[in-house]
């Protein structure tokens, strides 16, 4: 018998709206994620205190755990501390670092994770990957997808706009990542998953073409949904392929070559995507990306985030080494440093016209 359908690993609940946080306790109970109310909540020491004060009365059975930082050691320690209680679930309440730590800790102790995002800095809030700093720099660790995702737009609006803007760059970069995947399919016969590609690309296109900005809820709704769908597209594909191509190799190279000066994930991915689209000859798409990134106050030239043109050339030259085995426009063109310099000059000139 042919396979007529497939199951997609995805959250049981996705609740994205203004005021969503007010219903967190009810949602956990109604969905039987936690009928006893015994929850381990991971939260940041600083900005988390206010949220804790607000939510604690509604979650009387919760134990609160301050997360030290965003390292693998922090995540292991968090899991060890939570292991001693008998909880129904782990709730990660905070930005990307907190959720990544909570994801890893929950996976280690075999509990489901509820992700409550307080900013939209990248597409990791609903992905099967935890990104954590380790001795070698930064690693990606496979974990189960969150069982529920809650994003309260009232909280997002309060987040520093730089973090929200970062998510725009990450979402838009999907378009370049999917183009890299298609290239690898054409040139290398790499398997492409049409559903995962469609989800990631549509998320990127919706953010790219939305006329609003970080100040309005309609835009934040589309951005939050786009980032959640992108995370699920990675579960469908079984790896980060739908959301990570040359754009992310360039981002990783910035992080590795200039760890102290690196900008945010989405800032670097957006810039990387615009340049990668130019490299693949998609000049119209590249120009639209540049226009939109600029409108949102995101960088389109290395100088916008404090890097020289030569430093950017060295970043692009190093980028393929950050993700061995991933075939993108960078591996396809296999440019020398001089050729990268020329291509960059052409990009810079094209977008200044
Ligand atoms: Zn990303």
Rounded Cα distance between 14 and 89, Å, is: 16
98 and 199 part of one domain = no
CA 121 to ligand 1 centroid distance, Å: 9
112 and 170 part of one domain = no
22 and 101 part of one domain = yes
Q: Helix 309-318 vs helix 246-257: angle between axes, to the nearest 10 degrees?
A: 110
Beta-carbon count within 10 A of 286 CB: 23
Do β-strands 113-117 and 137-142 pair in parallel, antiparallel, or remain unpaired?
A: unpaired
CA 243 to ligand 1 centroid distance, Å: 6
251 and 129 part of one domain = no
Rounded Cα distance between 298 and 166, Å, is: 8
Q: Is the residue at 329 inside a domain?
A: yes
41 and 67 part of one domain = yes
Do β-strands 39-44 and 62-67 pair in parallel, antiparallel, or remain unpaired?
A: parallel
Last residue of a domain, one of 158, 176, 196: 158
194 and 343 part of one domain = yes
1 falls in which pLDDT band (50, 70, 90)? low
Assign residue 22 the CATH number of its domain: 3.40.50.1970
172 and 285 part of one domain = yes
CA 269 to ligand 1 centroid distance, Å: 7
The share of the chain scoring above pLDDT 90, in percent, equals 84
Q: What is the pTM of this model?
A: 0.95
* pLDDT tens per residue, range 108-119: 999 999 999 999
Residue 140 DSSP one-character state: E
Listed residue (298, 187, 290, 169) closest to 230, CA to CA: 169
Q: Is the residue at 227 inside a domain?
A: no
Assign residue 291 the CATH number of its domain: 1.20.1090.10
CA 292 to ligand 1 centroid distance, Å: 18
Q: Is the residue at 183 inside a domain?
A: yes
Residue found by looking up tokens 């760890």 in the block: 259
DSSP 169-209: HHHHHHHHHHHHHHHHHHHH-----HHHHHHHHHHHHHHHH
Rounded Cα distance between 207 and 221, Å, is: 10
Q: Is the residue at 54 inside a domain?
A: yes
* pLDDT tens per residue, range 276-327: 999 999 999 999 999 999 999 999 999 999 999 999 999 999 999 999 999 9
Q: Is the residue at 219 inside a domain?
A: no
150 and 177 part of one domain = no
Rounded Cα distance between 248 and 257, Å, is: 14
Q: Is the residue at 288 inside a domain?
A: yes
Task: Count up the domains in the chain and report the number.
Answer: 2
Q: Is the residue at 231 inside a domain?
A: no
In a 10 Å sphere around its CB, with 0-12 CB exposed, 13-18 middle and 19+ buried, how is residue 217 labelled? middle
CA 97 to ligand 1 centroid distance, Å: 13
pLDDT(353) > 90:
no
CA 2 to ligand 1 centroid distance, Å: 35
136 and 171 part of one domain = no
| Residues of the domain holding 104 | 13-158
255 and 317 part of one domain = yes
Q: Is the residue at 103 inside a domain?
A: yes
Last residue of a domain, one of 158, 174, 196: 158
* pLDDT tens per residue, range 242-254: 999 999 999 999 9
180 and 296 part of one domain = yes
175 and 320 part of one domain = yes
Element (H, E) at 115: strand 113-117
> What backbone torsions phi and psi does residue 109 show, to the nearest 5 degrees?
-105, 10
Which residues are bridge partners to 63 per DSSP? 40
Last residue of a domain, one of 116, 137, 158: 158
CA 34 to ligand 1 centroid distance, Å: 31
Do β-strands 62-67 and 13-17 pair in parallel, antiparallel, or remain unpaired?
A: unpaired
223 or 353, which is more confident? 223
Rounded Cα distance between 57 and 121, Å, is: 28
pLDDT, averaged across the chain? 94
């Amino acid at each position: 018998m042919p396979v007529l359908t497939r199951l997609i690993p995805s959250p049981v609940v996705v609740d994205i709206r203004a005021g969503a946080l007010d219903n967190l306790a009810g949602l956990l109970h109604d969905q039987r994620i936690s009928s006893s109310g015994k929850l381990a909540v991971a939260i940041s020491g600083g900005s988390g205190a206010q949220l804790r004060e607000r939510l604690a009365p509604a979650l009387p059975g919760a134990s609160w755990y301050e997360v030290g930082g965003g390292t693998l050691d922090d995540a292991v320690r968090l899991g060890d501390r939570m292991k001693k209680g008998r909880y129904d679930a782990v709730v990660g309440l905070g930005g990307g670092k907190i959720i990544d730590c909570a994801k890893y800790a929950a996976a280690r102790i075999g509990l489901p994770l509820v992700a409550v995002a307080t900013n939209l800095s990248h597409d990791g809030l609903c992905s099967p990957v935890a990104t954590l700093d380790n001795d070698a720099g930064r690693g990606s660790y496979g974990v189960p997808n969150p069982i529920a995702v809650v994003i309260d737009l009232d909280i997002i609006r309060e987040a520093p706009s730089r973090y929200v803007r970062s998510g725009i760059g990450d979402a838009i970069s999907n378009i370049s990542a999917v183009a890299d995947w298609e290239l690898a399919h054409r040139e290398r016969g790499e398997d492409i998953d049409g559903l995962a590609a469609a989800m990631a690309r549509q998320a990127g296109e919706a953010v790219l073409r939305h006329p609003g900005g970080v100040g309005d809820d309609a835009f934040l709704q589309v951005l939050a949904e786009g980032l959640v769908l992108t995370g699920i597209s990675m579960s469908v594909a079984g790896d980060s392929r739908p959301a990570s191509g040359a754009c992310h190799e360039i981002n990783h190279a910035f992080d590795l070559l200039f760890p102290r000066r690196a900008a945010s994930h989405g800032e670097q991915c957006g810039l990387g995507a615009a340049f990668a689209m130019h490299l693949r000859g998609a000049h119209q798409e590249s120009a639209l990306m540049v226009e939109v990134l600029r409108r949102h106050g995101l960088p389109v030239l290395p100088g916008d985030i404090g890097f020289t043109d030569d430093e950017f050339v060295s970043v692009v030259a190093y980028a393929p080494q950050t993700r061995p085995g991933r075939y993108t426009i960078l591996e396809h063109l296999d440019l020398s440093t001089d050729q990268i310099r020329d291509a960059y000059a052409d990009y810079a000139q094209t977008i200044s016209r």
